Structure 1
Amino acid sequence: MNANSNSSACQEWGRWKIIRRIVFIYIMLQPILDLFTSLSLRLQGQDFTAGLLIRFAFLILMGLYAMFFSKTVRMYFLFLAVFFMIHLLINQSFKPIFSASAETKYFVKLFYFNVALLFYFVFFRHNRVSRILDVLVISMTMIGAVMVVSGLTGTAFNSYSWGKEGHVGWFYAGNEIGAILAMGFPVVVLAALQKSNWAWISVVLVIYSLFALGTKVGFGAIVIVLILALLMSLYGLFKNHSGWLRPIMLLGLFVGTFCYFPFSSIAKNMNMHLNRLESNQSQAVGDVKSNAPAVQVENLVLSGRENFLMVQKQYFSEAPVLQKLFGMGYGGNYQEQPKMIEMDFYDVFYSLGIFGFILFFIPLGWILVRIVRNVLRYFPESFSTRNVLISTGVVLGLGISFTAGHVLTAPGVSMYLGLLLAYLLTTIQDRSGELG
C-alpha cells in the first residue's frame, strides 16, 4: 500500500512539474512570440503567424485546465458560449456589414483575458510557486534588451507613423509593449529590492524602454512605481533599521528620471501634441474655443480617442434594443471600415452590450472583491512591499486599459494582467505576502 501510494504521489508530482514548466516556458516565450509576430507582419505581411498558433493552443490548454478543476469555470464558459451564439445571430441580422470570421476573432481575443485570469487563479491553487515572478522578470528583461540593442543599432521601428518621436524596438505595437512594460516594471523593481542586486540592470533596461517608446503611459508608470517603491523602502528602513542602500538607489533613479524627462521623446511628443491642439483651437469659434483648456487636457490624455467614442455612442443610440443588450460586435455598426475606440472598457460595452459587459467583467469583479476583502481581513500583514508593488502593476494595467486600451483586447497583454491579479489574490490569502 505504501509503495503504491508513493508511486502515485510521484506520478502526481511529475504531472504538476510538467504543467509548471509549460507555464513558465510560455511566459518566457512571450517576448519571442511578439518579436516573431512583428517581423512577420512588417517584413512578410503575414497575419497568420506561429505566435498566433501557439497562443491559441495555450488558450485551449488554459481553458481545459481551468474547467477540469472548477465546476464554476465550466458553468461560466457555458454561459459565454450561449451568449456568443446569440450575439452572432443578432449581429448577422442587424449589423450593416457582418463578417463571422472577424466577429469570432475579436471575441476570442477579448475573452483571452478571462480564460487567462481563471486559469491562473486555478493554477495557483494547486501550484503555489514564487518562481513565477522570476519568470516575469526574465520576460521583461528580454523586452528591455531588445529595445536597447535595436535602439543602439538604429534598426528599431518607429512608435508613430508620422511626426512624433520614439521607437518600439523590433516589436510591432507601441501601446501593447508599453502596457506590458508598465505592468511588469513593478515586478522588476520588486526583484531588485528583495531578490538580487543584478535585477537593478533589468530596472534600468525597462526604464530606458519606457522612455524610448515616447508614450505618456511609459513616463507615468516610471514615476508611479518609483515613488511607491521608494516609500515602501523607507517604511522598511524605519521598521527594520537596515537596507539603506535600496532607497538611495530608488531616489537616484527617480531624480535621474526627472532630469532626463525634458530631453526625452515623451516630452517632445507632448509639446508637439499641445502645439497642434493650440493651432486647432486658434481656428475654432464659439463654445469650443471657450472650453479650450478642458478640450486640450482631454485630448492630451486620450490622444483623440474621445472622437471615436462619440461615433460609437451614436451607433449605440441608433442600434435596436437587441444590439443594446447583446452588443454591436467588432467596430460597432460601421458603414465602411471598423474602428475601435481603443479604450477597453468602452470597447467591451459597445461591442458586447449590457448583458455581455456584465458577463465579461464577472470574473474580474469577483477577483477584485476577494482581493479587497482579504487585504482588509489580513491587514497589516497584507501591507507588504510585494503586495503593494504587485497591486501597482494591476492598477496600472486596469488604468491603461481604461484610457489607452490595448490591454483587455490584446492577448499578449491581457495574459500578464490575468497572471498578476491571480497571483495577488493568492499571495494575500497567504497572509505573509509570500508564496511557498
Structure 2
Amino acid sequence: MTGKFNSVMYTDILKWFIIFQPVLDILTLLSIYFIDLSITVGIVFRMLFMLLSFVYIFFGNDSPYKKYVIGYLILLLAVLGLGFLGNIFLKPTFNFFLETQWIAKVVYFIVMFCAFVLVFTSKESYRAVKMKLLSAVYIAASIVVASILLSILTNTSTNTYEWVKDGYKGWFYSGNELGAIIAITAPLLFIFAYKKTNTWKDSLNWLPLFALLVTGVLLGTKVGLFAMVGTLAIGVVILILHWLVETRKNGMKNRYMISTLLAVVMAILFGVIAPTTPSVTNLSVDMPIPEKDNIATGPDSGEDGESMEEAEERQRQEEEAMRDEDGEIRELPAYLDSEIVNKILSARHFYFTRQYHYYIDAHIYQQLFGMGYAGNYTEVRKTIEMDFLDIFFSFGVFGAILIFLPLIMVTVAIIRKLFSDFKQVLNPENIFLITSIMLGNGIALIAGHVWFAPSVSIYFSLAFVLLLYNLYQPDLEELSGQ
C-alpha cells in the first residue's frame, strides 16, 4: 500500500481505540445520567471509528483477502438494505432512527471482524500485531478493573440491580454489557499473561487478570460468576496439561512451570474470595417468577438502574403486547412453560413467543429479509434480548446467514482441525480463544448484549479472527508472504 493511510497506521489507531473503550463506556454513563442525550458519546465515537474502518477496508490495506472481504460486506449491506426498505412499507410502526441504529449495531461487529482479518493478513508481522492488540486489551481490562474498584472504594459505584439483588458495575451503564466484556476478555488476558511470563519477575502480568476475575463476581450476575469460574478452571487444567507435556520434552524447569503455578495460586485465592461476593450470595435470591397467564417479570427486571415502579409499568405494557386480537394472552409452547426455563432465561421466552407469532404472521418478504427492530409491533416495542433469535427475526433467513458467517467459519475451522491437526486445536492459546468465543456466544444466546453491543463486539470479533488465523496460519502466511 503506497498511500499514507495503511495497515501500520490503522493498527496503531486501533490499539489506542481499544484502550479507550472503557473511557467511552464511562462517558456514556455520564451522558445518560447528567445530559440525558438520546445519542451517547460511545455510539458517536464507535460509529465514527466504524466509518474509518470502512475506509481502511476499501482503501488502506494490501491483504490478499481484500476482494473477498469487500464482496462479503457489499452483499451483507445489500441484504440488510433490502430488509430496511421492505419494512418501510410492511411494518405497522416504522421508526427510522431505531431501525438504523439497530442495523448499525450488528454491522459494527461485522466491520470490525473484517478489519481484523485484513490487519492480520497484511504485510506487517502477524505476531507483532497480535501482541500489540492483546496488550491493548490488557490495558483496557486493567482500566475497567481499576475504575470499578475505585468506584467501590469511593462509594460512587452504580448498582447492577436496583432492587432484590446486590452487585457493583462501577461507572458503567449496562451491567449486561460489562459482564460480557469481562467474560470475553478474561481468556484473552490469560493468553497475554502466560505469553509474557518467562521468569518470576513477570508475575506482575497476572495481577490484572486476577483482579478482572474478582471484578467479574463483584458484578453480581450469574453470567459473571459462571464465566469466571469456567475460564479459571479451563485455564488451570490446560496449563497443567501443557506443562506436563513440556516437562517430558524439556525437563521440569520449563517456562510453563511458572505460569502453571501462578494459575493454581490464583485459583486458590479466587476460591477463598468468591463465596463472599455478590455473584455467589445472589444465587440464593430468587427474582419474582411470572405466572402462566401473567407476565410479571421481564429480561433484566430491576437491573441497570430500573426502579421497581418502572419495571412494573414496563411489564404491564409488555403483557398488553402479548395479547392477541381477542384480548387473550398467547400460550407459551409446552417446552418453554416451566419455572426452570424462566429462571435461566429471566422470562425472555415470553418475548420469543411474541416475536415468533409476529414472524409466522409476517409477509414472506419479511420472513426472508427480516422484520427489523422488535418485529411487527404496534405500540410497545421489545426485543427478546437473546442475540441469535433477535438477529433471525430482525434480519430474516438471508440476513442471519450472512451475519453468522464468521461463526460458521470458526466452527468449520475447529471441526476440520480436530480431524487433521488435533494438537493444534489443543494449543493453550487456541483453547483460551475458543473459551472466549464460547462464553461470548453463550451470553449472546441466554442474556444478549454481545452481537448488538459495540462495546462488547470489538473484543468478540478480535477473538474470532485470532482463532481463525491460528488455525490456518501456515496457509495464510504463505499466501500473505509473511
Aligned to 1:350: 393
Contact 1:382 / 1:431 at 8 angstroms: preserved in 2?
no
* 1:92 maps onto 2:88 in alignment: yes
- In the TM superposition, what whole-angstrom CA distance separates every residue of 1:108-139 from its partner, at most 9, and x where no partner exists? 11111111111101110014122221111111
Q: Compute the displacement of 1:66 (Å).
A: 2.3
- The amino acid across from 2:138 in the alignment is V
- Number of residue pairs matched by the alignment: 417
Residues 388-419 of structure 1: CA distance to partner in whole angstroms, max 9, x if unpaired?
11221111111111111100011111111111
Following TM superposition, by how much is the alpha carbon of 1:363 offset from its aligned partner in structure 2, in angstroms? 3.5
Q: Is the contact made by 1:345 and 1:401 (CA closer than 8 Å) also made in structure 2?
A: yes
Whether contact under 8 Å (2:99, 2:372) holds in the other structure is yes
1:202 aligns with 2:215: no
Deviations 1:166-211 (A, max 9, x none): 0210011011011011010012223332313112210222012111
CA contact (8 A) 2:6 2:56 kept: no
Which residue of 1 is the match for residue 220 of structure 2?
Answer: 214
The RMSD of aligned alpha carbons is 2.8
Q: Is contact 1:148-1:205 (8 Å) kept?
A: no
**Which letter does structure 2 place at the counterpart of 1:152?**
L
Quote the Cα distance in structure 2 between the aligned partners of 1:187 and 1:51: 23
Distance 1:93 1:380 in 2: 53
- Contact persistence 2:214–2:274 (CA under 8 A): no
- d(CA) in 2 for partners of 1:83 and 1:403? 26
Match of 1:311 in 2: 354
Please list the CA deviations of residues 45-73 of structure 1 after superposition, one character each: whole Å capped at 9, or x if unmatched: 11324432221121112223223451222
User: Do the aligned residues in 1 keep the contact of 2:80 with 2:395 (CA within 8 Å)?
Assistant: no
Q: Specify the alignment match of 1:273 in structure 2.
A: 286
Partner of 1:251: 264
Q: Following superposition of structure 1 onto structure 2, how do residues 308-387 of structure 1 map, counting pairs within 5 Å?
A: 308-374=351-417, 376-387=419-430
The percent of aligned pairs where both chains have the same amino acid is 31
Show the counterpart of 1:154.
Answer: 155
1: distance between equivalents of 2:209 and 2:428? 16
The answer as to whether partners of 2:184 and 2:437 remain within 8 angstroms in 1 is yes
For the pair 1:390 / 2:390, whether they are aligned, the reply is no
Q: Kindly tell me: are residues 293 and 422 of structure 1, through their superposed partners in 2, closer, same or farther at Cα, counting changes over 3 Å?
A: closer
The answer as to whether partners of 2:372 and 2:394 remain within 8 angstroms in 1 is yes
Q: TM-score, normalised by structure 1?
A: 0.88
> Residue 280 of structure 1: CA displacement?
6.0
CA contact (8 A) 2:440 2:460 kept: yes
More helix by share: 1
1:238 corresponds in structure 2 to: 244
Whether the 8 Å CA contact 1:190–1:389 is kept in 2: the answer is yes
- For residue 427 of structure 2, what is the amino acid of its counterpart? S
In the alignment, the residues of structure 2 paired with residue 315 and residue 122 of structure 1 have an alpha-carbon distance, to the nearest angstrom, of 39
- Higher mean alpha-carbon deviation, 143-152 vs 264-273, is at 264-273
The one-letter code sitting in structure 2 at the alignment partner of 1:296 is E
The alpha-carbon deviation at position 297 of structure 1 amounts to: 2.3
Gaps of 5+ in 1: 1-7
Q: Comparing 176-185 with 17-26, which one deviates more in the overlay?
A: 17-26
User: What's the counterpart of residue 36 of structure 1?
Assistant: 27
Deviation at 1:302, TM superposition (A): 1.3
Shift of 1:292: 12
Indicate the larger mover: 90-99 or 251-260.
Answer: 251-260
Once the two structures are superposed, residues 129-152 of structure 1 have per-residue CA deviations (whole angstroms, 9 ceiling, x without a partner) of: 222211111111111111111111
Alignment match of 1:58 (pick from 21, 37, 49): 49
TM-superposed CA distance for 1:293, in Å, is 12
Whole-angstrom CA distance in 2 between matches of 1:33 and 1:386 = 29
Bigger drift between 190-199 and 130-139 goes to 190-199
Q: What does residue 5 of structure 1 align with? A: none
Q: 2:36 aligns with which of 36, 45, 49?
A: 45
TM alignment of 1:18-167, pairs within 5 A: 18-68=9-59, 69=63, 70-126=66-122, 127=124, 128=126, 129=129, 130-167=131-168
1:157 touches 1:167 (CA, 8 Å); kept in 2? yes
Instruction: Name the structure 2 match of 1:4.
Output: none
* 2:470 pairs with one of 413, 418, 427: 427
The secondary structure found in structure 2 opposite 1:335 is coil
